[in-house]
Chains A and B, each alone.
Chain A
Amino acid sequence: MAAASYRGRRMVAALVLLSGFALILFRLFNLQILQAAELTVKADRQHRKAVSVQGPRGSIYDRHGKVLAINMDVPSVFGVPASLDDPSGVARDLSPVLRVRAGEIEKKLKQERSFVWIARKLDPEQGRRLERMPLEGIGVVMEGQRFYPKGPLLSHVLGFAGMDSQGLEGIERRYDPSLRGEKQMVVLQRDALGRTVFPKGLHEQVPSPGHNVILTIDEVIQYIAEKELEEAVTATRAKGGIVIVMEPRTGAILAMAVNPRFDPNTVQAISADRWRNRALTDTYEPGSTMKIFVAAAALEEKVMEPETLVYGENGRMVVAHTVIHDHDRLGWMTFAQVIQRSSNIGSVKTATALGAERLYRWLRAFGFGERTEIDLPGEVTGLIKEPRNWERRSLASIAMGQEIGVTALQLVTAVAAIANGGWLMKPYTVSEIRDEKGRVVVQVSPQVRRQPISPETVHTLSKILEGVVTHGTGSKAAVPGYRVAGKTGTAQKIDPKTGAYSSHLSVGSFVGYVPAEDPRLAIVVVIDEPQTEAWGGVVAAPVFRRVAEQALQHLGISSQEPVKLAMTTSSEMARP
């Protein structure tokens, strides 16, 4: 009996257990097989989160690898008004960290919205303080912010990027497709606690960062140019100015300074007028610097020789019912002296001998009236009328650098063609583009546009231009120990009120190259509306000298001075 009841109890227990297992099996079958598809979708929706991730923007470096623009993640603070119990208390806590009045924060937090930005792109230090504060309903996210660590240095060339890391001006705009990081939808997998877990397929998606851009700019020469320009603009109470330093053999830009400057880090507060890179977006009437190209044409066309005698009409000549003056009452002079003393009358006579068609063709050959095709946005073509549209006075005007609009960049590029033996180069500011691992993606090599002038003519012209500095109007551009060739320019500006040439608004300029026997630097200096003195030889030539002197020393370009003097110095220095 006992045995039978024992067996009976065992049967009951087994039955209970088995039906339990059967229930579990049934549930499993139900979940894993019958509802499988539906539940997988549901689970994935909870585990996975798709987010749009953008790789960081590439950096911009100078030719020696100095950082000029870089991206950095900085904290931004947001609030979720719905989950806040005490908005005014939270606002009071945040106020000292964010350095914003509590009232303003409170106003944002009391809005009827599910999400509100409280402050964007803060200091990393502020972010660290916020993370230590246990605040409900307040969150911190990191956002990429563009930094220009050198402040206003090179700002007109670099340009700037906007709030969403899009290039808006300068290099940032022109090279945006290279600099911009890849944008990708990335699926993150999260566990029950919301932590990100490594993806199941062990395949990780990471959007690649933007490429790095390496410039031809030399940070130190850029600084020298900006500093000397700023001093000259202040001293002459000018409206502004431009300095460009170019490597004549390659067309690489070493420095491009535009004054007044701006800080690309605080660009929102500045008017668009200040961003413009006026070295290539604005034209001006160049004045006497144009005589270089009139001379080049005359020499190449064999209309003039350096020793050809030209009569200066004692400083006064009538052309097309208007009187042309020279600043000195010049009599007979050689053609070389016409350039060196910057005689308007001599230049007009030269242009007349060339004729309108040839003068026009030559100016076009040197690149006036067309873009230099530099790799920066906003470049203009300049203004040079075709001879059929010229008026009676036009030939004379153009010979003196009036009735023609050029950019400072066109001028220095054309002078560089004389410096390098006759090759008109395409100026450029970016030498290399590299990916994030440092592999070269794009390598830019110098490009010749054409050869407008023969090496023999260049040689003759260079001698004349050296004379401008040694015994002509450009004496203040002389760099001790080096041979300098160049030309001064002083141009009256058109008064916007009267539409006629103003008696007090002018542009003073100097353009030249150094060392004349083996040019390494071509430099243009333009001072816009100087108040103290108008002459290019007075306001611009000294800036050329100071920039050239320091740049030559920085580059380690030695002078052609004899060894004797150096030995004297060392023996004197050896004395106790």
Chain B
Amino acid sequence: MKTLTVVAAMALLLLYVWERVEIVRVGYQIERLKVKKVALERERDELQVKLSALTSPERIARVATEKLGLVPPQRGQVILVNVKPEAPAHGEPAMPDVKLARNESVGKVP
């Protein structure tokens, strides 16, 4: 009985010490991860700045016209189609409501 009590007390003591050590160990681990998180956040911000700068409309227009030789669409080359969502009453197929974005020189599109 006496031995059992001593063993139990020792076990409790060890458990307590183990717990303390573990707290410190995990604490350091958390700190390491926090440093890593900050580094990753910095990288994310850096990439976001880069992405934002690279997708600026000014740059896209410059690359499109100067590097790729693209030109803005001419009149008649863009046709916007308005599709009305409501279904027709008599089961006829819904006809899209076609409207022109720009009308001039429509006939001259090659």
Contact = CB atoms under 8 A, between A and B. Distances in A.
Contacts of B51: 67
B103 A151 contact: no
Interface string B74-99: 01101111100000000000000111
Interface string A543-576: 0000001101100111111010111111011000
A72 B45 contact: yes
A149 B53 CA distance: 5
A437 interface: no
Given A147-B49, A151-B58, A566-B100, A197 B27 contact: yes
Contacts of B48: 67, 70
Interface string A478-493: 0011000000000000
Nearest to A573: B109
A308 interface: no
Nearest to B108: A572
A285 interface: no
Interface in B13-52: 24, 26-28, 30-31, 42, 45-46, 48-52
Contacts, number: 116
A70 B52 CA distance: 10
A570 B56 CA distance: 33
Given A72-B49, A569-B76, A66 B55 contact: yes
A223 interface: yes
Given A150-B53, A198-B31, A220-B57, A572 B109 contact: yes
B107 interface: yes
- Most chain A CB within 10 A, of B82, B98, B101, B109, is at B101
Contacts of A198: 26-28, 30-31
A264 B109 CA distance: 43
Contact of B79 (A197, A220, A557, A569): A569
Contact of A556 (B55, B57, B80, B104): B80
A481 B52 contact: no
B7 interface: no
A196 B79 CA distance: 62
Contacts of A66: 52, 55
A327 interface: no
A403 interface: no
B104 A568 contact: no
Contact of A558 (B61, B99, B107): B99
B103 A481 contact: yes
B101 A223 contact: no
B64 interface: no
A24 to B, nearest CB: 19
B107 A568 contact: yes
Contact of B100 (A149, A151, A481): A481
Contact of B99 (A73, A151, A553, A561): A561
Contact of B56 (A153, A557, A567): A153
Contacts of A550: 72
A114 B31 CA distance: 30
Interface in A49-99: 66-68, 70-73
Interface in A423-457: none
Best-buried of A147, A196, A565, A567 by chain B (most CB within 10 Å): A565
A219 interface: yes
Contacts of A558: 80-82, 99-101
A153 B61 CA distance: 14
A124 interface: yes
A553 B27 CA distance: 57
A223 B58 CA distance: 7
A553 B42 contact: no
A461 B12 CA distance: 91
B21 to A, nearest CB: 13
Given A70-B48, A480-B104, A560-B99, A197 B80 contact: no
A253 B81 CA distance: 27
B103 to A, nearest CB: 4
A392 interface: no
A556 B100 CA distance: 11
A481 B107 CA distance: 15
Q: Which of A142, A149, A196 has the most CB of B within 10 A?
A: A149
Q: Which residue among B57, B72, B82 has the maximum number of chain A CB atoms within 10 Å of its CB?
A: B57
B11 interface: no
A195 interface: yes
A215 B55 CA distance: 18
B64 to A, nearest CB: 13
A553 B79 CA distance: 9
A481 B98 CA distance: 13
Nearest to B44: A72
Contacts of A563: 97-99
Contacts of A150: 52-53, 56-58
B46 to A, nearest CB: 6
B90 to A, nearest CB: 21
A480 B105 CA distance: 11
A563 B56 CA distance: 35
Nearest 6 A/B pairs, CB to CB: A198-B27, A149-B52, A558-B99, A223-B57, A561-B100, A558-B80
Interface of B: 24, 26-28, 30-31, 42, 45-46, 48-53, 55-58, 61, 72-73, 75-76, 78-82, 97-104, 106-107, 109
21 contacts: A66-B55, A67-B48, A67-B49, A70-B49, A70-B52, A72-B45, A72-B46, A72-B49, A151-B58, A195-B28, A195-B31, A198-B27, A227-B58, A481-B100, A481-B104, A552-B101, A553-B80, A558-B80, A559-B80, A569-B107, A573-B109
Given A561-B103, A568-B106, 8 more contacts: A67-B52, A70-B48, A70-B52, A195-B28, A480-B102, A481-B103, A572-B109, A573-B109
